[in-house]
C-alpha cells in the first residue's frame, strides 16, 4: 500500500512509521513531508498514494491549504493534537480523525476502516461496470471450461446449480453437467432473483426447472427438479413462504 505521511514533528512521524510497520509490513510510507509547500510540490510531481496520514498544523500553515492547490482523490486520515478541526477535516477526504498521541490500536482500526471502504467501493465499481455491459445488471452468458475447450451457455439454458464435494456444478436444461470455479453465493449475486431461487445451501434453481412440490412435515417442502437432481431437495420451513411467494409472483 502506498502511504504518504505529511507531518512536521519528527518524533510523531517516527512513532507513526514504527506503529504502521508493526501493524503490517506493507504499511511503510513512500515519503515524509513536513510543510504545505513541500506537500503541494510533491503531489504535483508524483502519482497520488493510496492513503495519506496528515497533520493539520504544519510549520508554514494548515494542511487544509493543500486542497486549495491539489485535487486529491485518495482518502486522508488526519493525525493532530487539536480536536477543534474534526468537523472541517471531514470536508477534505477524511475517513478518520486521530488525536495525538495516536495509539497502535486506534491506528490499526483506521487502517481496517480504510480496507473496508476500499472493498465496498471496489465492489460497487465492479457492479457499475457490469451494469454498463448489461443494463439489466445480471449475467446473460457463461463461459465454461470443459477439458481443453471452452463453451458458452445462455443463462436461460441453465436449469440449476448445486454444490457437492466442495465443487459447484451447473446443470443445463438438457441435463448436461459442468464444473464451475465459483461459490454458490457468488453465482447467486450474478443472477436475476426473479428467475433463480436459493432453495437451500446446496441448490440454486431456475424457476422453469421447478417440476413438483410436496409438503414433508413441519412446513418443509420437497422440491423435484427437471432435469432430475442427484439428491433429495428440501426447503426449510423458514424459507417456504418466501419460495411460494417467488413462484406466485
Q: Where are the alpha helices (DSSP H) in 92-210?
A: 104-133, 184-189
Predicted pLDDT of residue 119: 76
Query: DSSP strand E in 55-176: where?
Result: 57-58, 61-62, 76-80, 94-99, 141-146, 149-154, 158-164, 167-172
Q: Do residues 80 and 55 touch, judged by C-beta distance below 8 A?
A: yes
Domains of the chain: 3-132 (3.40.50.2300), 141-247 (2.40.50.1020)
156, three cell numbers: 436461460
pTM: 0.52
pLDDT at 210 (0 to 100): 97
Q: Would you write out the chain's pLDDT as a tens digit for each of its 249 residues?
A: 899 999 999 999 999 999 999 998 888 899 999 999 999 999 999 999 999 999 999 999 999 999 999 999 899 999 999 999 998 998 898 999 999 999 999 999 999 999 888 876 766 555 555 555 555 678 889 999 888 889 999 999 999 999 998 899 999 999 999 999 999 999 998 999 989 999 999 999 999 999 999 999 888 999 999 999 999 999 998 899 899 989 987
pLDDT for res 238: 86
> In angstroms, rounded to a whole number, what is the distance separating the alpha carbons of residues 27 and 45?
22
pLDDT number for residue 132:
54
Amino acid at each position: 500500500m502506498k502511504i504518504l505521511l505529511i507531518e512536521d514533528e519528527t518524533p510523531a512521524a517516527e512513532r507513526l512509521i514504527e506503529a504502521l510497520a508493526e501493524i503490517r509490513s506493507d504499511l511503510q510510507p513512500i515519503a515524509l513531508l513536513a510543510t504545505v509547500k513541500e506537500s503541494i510540490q510533491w503531489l504535483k510531481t508524483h502519482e497520488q498514494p493510496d492513503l495519506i496520514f496528515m497533520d493539520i498544523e504544519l510549520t508554514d500553515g494548515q494542511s487544509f491549504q493543500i486542497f486549495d492547490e491539489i485535487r486529491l482523490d485518495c482518502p486522508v486520515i488526519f493525525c493532530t493534537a487539536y480536536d477543534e478541526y474534526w468537523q472541517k477535516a471531514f470536508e477534505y477526504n477524511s475517513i478518520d480523525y486521530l488525536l495525538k498521541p495516536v495509539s497502535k490500536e486506534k491506528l490499526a482500526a483506521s487502517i481496517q476502516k480504510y480496507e473496508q471502504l476500499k472493498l465496498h467501493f471496489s465492489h460497487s465499481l465492479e457492479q457499475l461496470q457490469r451494469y454498463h455491459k448489461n443494463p439489466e445488471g445480471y449475467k446473460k452468458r457463461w463461459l465454461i471450461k470443459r477439458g481443453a475447450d471452452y463453451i458458452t451457455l445462455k443463462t436461460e439454458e441453465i436449469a440449476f446449480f448445486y454444490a457437492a464435494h466442495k465443487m459447484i456444478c451447473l446443470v443445463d436444461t438438457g441435463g448436461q453437467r459442468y464444473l464451475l470455479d465459483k461459490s454458490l453465493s457468488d453465482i447467486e449475486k450474478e443472477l436475476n432473483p426473479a428467475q433463480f431461487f436459493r432453495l437451500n445451501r446446496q441448490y440454486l434453481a431456475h424457476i422453469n426447472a421447478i417440476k413438483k412440490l410436496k409438503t414433508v412435515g413441519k412446513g418443509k417442502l420437497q422440491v423435484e427438479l427437471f432435469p432430475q437432481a442427484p439428491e433429495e431437495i428440501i426447503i426449510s420451513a423458514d424459507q417456504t413462504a418466501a419460495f411460494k411467494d417467488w413462484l406466485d409472483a
